[in-house]
Each structure stands twice: as structure tokens, then as C-alpha cells.
A and B are shown apart, each in its own frame.
Chain A
Amino acid sequence: MKIAVLQFPGTNCEFETLVAVKAVGMEGEIFRWNRPAGELSGFDGFVIPGGFSYQDRLRAGVIASKEPVMSALKEEAGIGKPIIGICNGFQILVETGLLPGSIEKSSGNVDMALAQNVMISQGKIVRRGYYCDWVNLRHEAPSKRCSGSFAIERGALLKIPIAHGEGNLVTTTPGLMKKLNDEGQVVFRYCDRNGRIINEFPFNVNGSTESIAAICNEPGNVLGMMPHPERAFFAWQLPAFDPRKQRPDEPGPGRRVFESMKRYIEVNA
């Protein structure tokens, strides 16, 4: 079971992502964007980690989305291999058309955008731009619906950090939000520590439509999420105010995303 962790110029989370991949028992390696794209077919799954590919020039993720390696990745997605895009990886998947579109229409259609953060509280804009913090996520999809949350039960709460300036999901595609909700493609939403969805800052940390933090494609093999599970993989990575930090041998909540990917591959092999 071999995972490619894609690296573009400006990616900066590839090494800790690779540690997470290996720590759940998968093999993995960093796959540079300028390797022959056909070599991707030798892998069982893919992670596009966070960072600032191409320095976020033009808009986050768009330049990387035009690289040949992403065309090859579309083909791998089309045969059902799991792909997880984290933060900038999510932005790249959106600009590629792999999310939220179904595989058939992903030849170039971009159905949504991850726009600049706009934090709203009590009807007022209280903050804009880059923001990093620990957030609470509620798992919205049924278990086994999506590769990156395959082994997570519906309603589970995860505390995972975010760090981004463009995570505000917006769309002008008619009916898209209804489709995402009806077909279980909304995977995580931002929530409070009790799991309540409160659609304003500081719970909705970036103004994202319906507090959405993660979505998957229609078949469920491609997941994009703004939070960074690799930064909450071990309990010792948790913030000082979290009591689990004092039990460093325990797994962190982010581990469940990588365990899910592994389980998805095992079941679908």
C-alpha cells in the first residue's frame, strides 16, 4: 500500500504528512511535481499537502492545477484511488475541477471557489484574511462515504488546526449546495466544542458557506479539507490547554483521517 505525497514548489507540509502516512502503516514517498506524471499509476493513493504552491500567485492552487501531474491525478481519481487534499491541496483540487465535480464532468469545470476568508459575527465583518487556530470539526457524512473519513462515525468531533487565508467556500453553481448536502458530500463542518454548528466567527472560522470545512466528490474517493490532520496526528501536537497533550502516547484526532485512507484502500483493493 503505497501513497504519493505530492510536492509542488511552495508546498510546506509534505514531510509531516509523509510521517503521518507511514505512522498508520502505509508506505509513502514524496512525489515531486516535475517527475514523469505517468509514474503516479504505481501508487495506491495520494495526498496533496498544505503550503503555498507557487506562492499562491494569481490565486491559491490555480497554477499547480495546470501542471501535467494533475491531469494524471484525474485519471487516477477516475479509477477510484483515494486522494486527500489538505488546505492548499484542497484549493488545488477545486481549481482542477476534481472537487466537487463528479469524475465525468471534471474535465475542466470548476464548480466552486475557496475565496478569501471573511469572518462574520453578529452580522458584522470582524476580521479578514489569514487565520490560524485550533477548530472543532463535526463529521457530517456517514462512515464509509468518503476515503478520508472512511473509519469515522457520523457525528464524531475532531479538534484539528487550520491555517489559511483562502478557505471560504463560495459557489454560483445552481443547486450545488443542495446536491452536496443531499448526497453526503459535506464531510466536515466547523462547530463549537459540543458539536453545534454556529454559522459565525469564531466557530465558522473563514465565512465558508454553511460552515463547510471539507467535501468529497460524488464517488467519495476524493476528499478536500481545509484543516490540517497531520498537525494533530500525535497527542503531543495538541495545544497546551488540551488534557490529551499530557498523554503523549495517545493518538491525536488527525490520525483518524489517515487511518481512514488506509482502511478505504484495504476494503476497495
Chain B
Amino acid sequence: MSMNRKINLRVWLKIPDAEAATVKNTLIRRLGFGNVLDDVKKERLFSIEVDSGDPEELAKSFARELVNENKESHIVLIDELKFEEDYVPVKVTLHIEDGEAISIRERLRSRLGFENVVDVKKATVWKLYFNTLKPEAQIKAGEIAEQLLINPHKDSYEIMI
């Protein structure tokens, strides 16, 4: 009996991220978070479920397809998802159908021959750097998610602490 494995690819730009800069600017200049928020960074997260194969080798193959090494960096986490301590990670996902995730799954399975791919999920992780203690930072992260990062009619969020 085989057990499915989950390959998480955390991907971020190593060049300046204009979208993260715009979000930071809006939070500070328009929404009043300037007194608690120091910085905003962003990652893309791909969670790829496979039913066979060596996950370490598969992760390398998937990264070649999903990461542009000219402008992006990434790390791989197998069967776990953890983040650094110095920010509050807010994971935003679509709760309506995610067309891009479906396209990636089909591309991996049908065009690139990874028939062991069972599912692909995609998310954006906003890394919110606060100058406050963690309990307050988590409350502020929730406010930021609801005031800007999501539209609740299509997005969901989760604070990953």
C-alpha cells in the first residue's frame, strides 16, 4: 500500500517584487498600518501531491518546470510546511475553482509525463514583518488579510503560525 507524499515548493522573486512593494505601500499609506508594519514580502506556494516516486528527485523536476531560476529562488519541503520566525505568514488561496492550479496539474501529468501527480494546489504567502509582539502581530495580520489581501467571495486566508 502506498502513501501519497506532498511536495511543497516555496518560490520567491530574487529581483524586486513590485506587487509586494505596492501592497506594503497601500497598507502603510492608505490603510494605517505604518506604525506596526515594517515590511511585506511575497512567495508563491505550490503543493504537489504524488502517489509514487522519489519526492526529492520529483521536487527537482517540478522546480525546473515551475521556477524561473533567472529571477526566482525556491526551497523544497516534503510532507511539511514551515516558515521562518521573523514574520507572520498569511496564506491566501482561492476557494472557487483555481484554474491555474488545474492547468499546472494537467501540464505536469499530460504534457510532461508525471502521471504520479495526483493534485496541485497553489497559494500566495504574504510575509508580514511587524515591529510588535507576536499576539498583536497575528491580530494585525488578520486585519490586513481581511482589509486588503483577500476578497472573501473568492479567496480564503490562513495565518500559518
Listed in ascending order, the chain A residues whose CB lies under 8 Å from chain B are 54-55, 57-59, 62-63, 66-68, 95, 110-113, 115-116, 118, 125, 128-129, 170-173
Contacts and interface: CB of A to CB of B under 8 A. Distances in A.
Nearest to B102: A125
A116 B18 contact: no
Given A57-B22, A173-B153, 17 more contacts: A57-B23, A58-B22, A58-B149, A59-B151, A62-B148, A63-B22, A66-B30, A66-B31, A110-B151, A113-B151, A113-B153, A113-B154, A115-B154, A118-B99, A170-B96, A170-B153, A172-B152
B31 A170 contact: no
Contacts, number: 55
B96 A115 contact: yes
A66 B154 contact: no
B150 to A, nearest CB: 9
Given A66-B26, A110-B151, A55 B97 contact: no
Nearest to A116: B99
Q: How large is the interface on B (under 10, 10 to 19, 20 to 34, 35 or more residues)?
A: 20 to 34
Nearest to B27: A66
Given A66-B30, A66-B31, A112 B153 contact: yes
Contacts of B96: 115, 170
B131 interface: no
A263 to B, nearest CB: 33
B69 interface: no
Interface in B24-45: 26, 30-31
B158 interface: no
B45 to A, nearest CB: 16
19 contacts: A57-B18, A57-B22, A58-B148, A58-B149, A66-B26, A66-B30, A66-B148, A110-B151, A110-B152, A112-B153, A113-B155, A115-B94, A115-B96, A115-B153, A115-B154, A116-B99, A118-B97, A128-B103, A171-B153
A127 to B, nearest CB: 9
B142 to A, nearest CB: 15
Interface string B88-125: 00000010110110110000000000000000000000
Please provide the 4 A-B residue pairs with the shortest distance between their CB atoms, ordered closest to farther.
A113-B153, A128-B99, A66-B30, A113-B151
B16 to A, nearest CB: 13
Nearest to B97: A118
Interface of B: 18-19, 22-23, 26, 30-31, 94, 96-97, 99-100, 102-103, 148-149, 151-155
A58 B103 CA distance: 20
Contacts of A128: 99-100, 103
A170 B97 CA distance: 11
B41 to A, nearest CB: 14
Contacts of A115: 94, 96, 153-154
A62 B152 contact: no
A172 B153 contact: yes
B30 A67 contact: yes
Greatest chain B CB density within 10 A among A58, A118, A128 is at A58
Contacts of A68: 30
Nearest to B153: A113
Nearest to A117: B99
A171 B95 CA distance: 12
A57 B19 contact: yes
A66 B24 CA distance: 13
A80 to B, nearest CB: 27
Contact of A63 (B26, B103, B154, B155): B26
A165 to B, nearest CB: 10
Given A55-B18, A57-B23, A129 B99 contact: yes
B99 to A, nearest CB: 4
A140 B152 CA distance: 28
